[in-house]
Chain A
């Protein structure tokens, strides 16, 4: 269980509060108007923004003081999820060892992850030689080898076309089925939330609301969400 315990986040004169829990193994969308603080919330959970007050806990561990790389979290950002000068296999391998000195066993893991996302035949390509969808698959392969219990997605597929994005979300869902990881996913598209997330956190008016059932929330949205959904 992820616990955001009386959390207050500030950035310049922007403030966001959160006091909620997310069940282990659940898939949660974070939805809300732009500028409401969806990415800010994710930045705090992943350790890039130290909270002003409150604590972040995963199971019984307090994460609040841990640096980003030491948290039980794998994260994909809006862009720059791959190093363009490293090969596909190296990019994935970084998820196992930041110094890339991989054992045979670990190299096999990288190959297996690439095979799982459908890129078995291109470990030596550079990201620039791949399509946008293939680049997303490489990033997902790295998330797979990281095998962290908590996965954060900050709209990494936003630049893809609708069909590709759907493919990616289905791939994410399939990977979650295999690993039982917990997913937190920022989205500005309610159809994404409906597709993959059984519950949704609404971020609006300076507050991250506790997760609710996605269907219920989207079918009868509160005023703040209604204004956003239009």
Chain B
């Protein structure tokens, strides 16, 4: 095809945006590396953080994936009322603020949670949610749904004809497992485990709230502590280098092992199964689904139940934090669009490799970028005064890989289907953007904006590094209330945060879909 001047102009803004992202991510990495006092070496505290980080990530990935197998199998072979809703709910943790989930888990598993209340009533010893098992529990809460979606996708990818043939040949559940399901699991599980392992490596908010102490500190949390408590930039930078190596390596492995996007479309199809009709398997699947649903829904339901009455008593500090969060979410959404749209246009119209730039956001963790930005900004301006813009920027970059995954295929389709027509009509430049691309991309743009805004709304990461006592986002304010044992108010703030996160997602997503045409 013709590589006309039009095509070149279309790629240029994308290249600029990609260069900007690379400059921010790589620039902060360089800043961190230069500032790191490598001569000091890694002390016992650092090694312990590294060990804990890897160990908890291994456990989190293993439990998430192993538990996902029975849940996904039950969802794959059963039809029941609410199945579609449950599968949609499996996508919800993606935009569920971590701090709200932690609050919910505390309501179930915490010192005065319903589990320990029951144990006390029965005269049994209590369990503590803090430490390694609390961190792993929270990670399983977040990643079991993701793992279930990935494994369910694997089940759906087995052609239904295979099950028909198996039924024809008189296969029992065991034979089906051996010939159809085991090979699928062998293909699917390593990728799913690797993704979750990589996600859990850069866990910050969970470790901040449920971990801590010398025996349950992740590298990400150690960066924060070095930064906030000791104000030891050299050590924070050194830990950042460790974190870059860890997460970067894990992200590469995860990328190699998986080729799925995890947004899983078409998951609400059930396959007719002739092998699973006996009562025992039916009971097993019912129990599995019930427990999984309870595990995922109960904590959030408790938060809502406890927090809703406190909504009317929320102090102004919470409302102003909510306003700050809303502004940050909108700012990072705008910034994400300004970066992702040009990159998606370039990547979808022939420069496919540009999409990889978004992956930088996966390889670098928020606190590493935060530390780097602090080091860069510090000589020029007061970084604490820039807490909100910095948070918005980092959130936008973190959302970029997801946004590109959502947008690039749509740009590619539009280009493939309508490039000749628009070229022959001289539909170029801004008219092309306004009349062709944006309308065609609207549902994707809405979804990407919704995800970005919600993720940013619930984020508790960089803001914890940069905020002074007067500034707070809603998640940070909630964390402070929890730290001060103002649990009533924290629950109220949690409900507000939940409503804002899901509300802003819903508005963007709905806005994208309204009046969308085939």
B421: chain A residues at CB < 8 Å are 77, 80-81, 83
The residues of B that contact A220 with a CB separation of less than 8 Å are: none
Q: Contact at B423–A86, with CB atoms within 8 Å?
A: no
Interface residue? B168 (CB, 8 A):
no
Known: A48-B1, A80-B418. A126 touches B517 (CB 8 A): yes
Within 8 A of A (CB), among B412-438: 417-418, 420-421, 423-428, 430-432, 434-436
- Any chain B CB within 8 A of the CB of A206? no
**B4 contacts which of A67, A73, A98, A99 (Cβ < 8 Å)?**
A67
Q: State A126–B516 Cα separation when bound (angstroms).
A: 11
Q: Is residue B518 contacting chain A, with contact meaning CB distance below 8 A?
A: yes
Contacting pair B435 A86 (CB below 8 A): yes
A90 to B5 CA separation, bound complex (whole angstroms): 26
CB under 8 Å from chain B, chain A span 67-82: 67-70, 73-75, 77, 80-81
A128–B518 alpha-carbon span in the complex (Å): 7
**B417 A69 Cβ-Cβ under 8 A:** no
Q: Are A70 and B417 in touch, CB under 8 angstroms?
A: no
Among B417, B418, B425, B518, which residue has its beta carbon within 8 angstroms of that of A98? B425
Q: Report the separation of the CA atoms of residues A75 and B420 in the bound assembly, to the nearest whole angstrom.
A: 10
B426 contacts A48, C-beta separation under 8 Å: no
Q: Does B6 contact A (CB under 8 A)?
A: yes
A126, closest chain B residue (CB): B517
**CB-based contact A68/B517 at 8 Å:** no
A146 CB → nearest B CB, Å: 8
> Whose C-beta in chain A lies nearest to the C-beta of B417?
A80
Shortest Cβ distance from A67 into chain B, in angstroms? 5
Say which residue of A68, A75, A99, A128 sits within 8 Å of B431 (CB atoms).
Answer: A99
Contact of A95 among B418, B425, B439, B518 (CB under 8 A): B425
* Set of chain A residues within 8 Å of B380, measured between Cβ atoms: none
A225 interface residue, CB < 8 Å from B? Answer: no
* Number of residues from A at the complex interface, CB < 8 A: 27
Instruction: Report how far A100 CA is from B420 CA in the complex, Å.
Output: 18
Q: How far is the CB of B436 from chain A (nearest CB, A)?
A: 6
Specify the main secondary structure of chain B where it touches its partner: helix
In-complex Cβ contact of A48 among B2, B5, B425, B430 (8 A): B2
Using an 8 Å CB-CB cutoff, how does the interface string of A33-52 with B read, 1 for contact, 0 for none?
Answer: 00000000000001111100
Task: Tell me if B35 is interfacial: C-beta within 8 Å of chain A.
Answer: no
A69 with B424, Cβ < 8 A, contacts A84-B517, A85-B440, A128-B517 known: yes
**Neighbour of B435 across the interface among A48, A99, A128, CB < 8 A:** A99
**B-side interface residues toward A, CB under 8 Å?**
1-2, 4-6, 417-418, 420-421, 423-428, 430-432, 434-436, 439-440, 516-518
Option from A70, A74, A77, A83 in Cβ contact (under 8 Å) with B436: A83
Contacting residues, chain A, for B5 (C-beta < 8 A): 67
Within 8 A of B (CB), among A53-97: 67-70, 73-75, 77, 80-81, 83-86, 90, 94-95
Q: Is the CB of B2 within 8 A of A98?
A: no
- Give A84-122 interface residues, CB cut-off 8 Å to B: 84-86, 90, 94-95, 98-100
Complex contacts, A128 vs chain B, CB 8 Å: 517-518
CB contact under 8 A between A98 and B424, given known A80-B418, A83-B436, A86-B439: no
- Does the CB pair A83–B4 fall under 8 Å? no
Q: What are 29 A-B contacts with C-beta separation under 8 Å?
A: A48-B420, A49-B1, A49-B2, A67-B2, A67-B4, A68-B2, A68-B423, A69-B425, A69-B428, A75-B424, A77-B420, A80-B417, A81-B421, A83-B418, A83-B436, A84-B517, A85-B439, A85-B440, A85-B517, A86-B435, A86-B439, A98-B426, A98-B428, A98-B432, A99-B430, A99-B431, A100-B435, A128-B517, A128-B518
Per the bound structure, the CA–CA distance linking A69 and B428 in Å amounts to 10
Pick the contact of A94: B2, B417, B427, B518 (CB < 8 A). Answer: B427
Nearest CB on B from A86, distance (A): 7
Contacts of A73 in B (CB 8 A): 424
Q: Which residues of B contact A83 (CB under 8 A)?
A: 418, 421, 435-436, 439
Q: Which residues of A contact B (CB under 8 A)?
A: 46-50, 67-70, 73-75, 77, 80-81, 83-86, 90, 94-95, 98-100, 126, 128
Query: What distance in Å separates the Cβ of A11 from its nearest Cβ neighbour in chain B?
Result: 10
A94 touches B425 (CB 8 A): yes
Specify the chain B residue showing the minimal Cβ separation from A70.
B426
* A69 B518 Cβ-Cβ under 8 A: no
Instruction: Give A81's nearest chain B residue, CB to CB.
Output: B421
Q: How far is the CA of A69 from the CA of B6 in the complex (A)?
A: 11
**Chain B contacts for A98, CB-based, 8 A:** 425-428, 431-432, 435
Nearest CB to that of B4 among chain A residues? Answer: A67
Q: How far is the CA of A49 from the CA of B436 in the complex (A)?
A: 23
**Beyond A47-B2, A84-B518, A126-B517, is A69–B435 a contact (Cβ under 8 Å)?**
no
* Chain B neighbourhood of A70, CB < 8 A: 426
Which of B418, B423, B439, B516 contacts A69, CB < 8 Å? Answer: B423
- List of A residues within 8 angstroms of B431 by Cβ: 98-100
Distance (Å) between the CB of B511 and the closest chain A CB? 15
A73 to B425, CA, bound (A): 10
- Please measure, in the bound complex, the distance between the C-alpha atom of A115 and the C-alpha atom of B202, giving whole angstroms: 63
Q: How far is the CA of A85 from the CA of B442 in the complex (A)?
A: 10
Closest partner residue, chain B, to A69 (CB atom): B426
Q: How near does chain A come to B27, taking the closest CB pair, in angstroms? A: 39
A68 CA to B434 CA in the complex, in Å?
Answer: 20
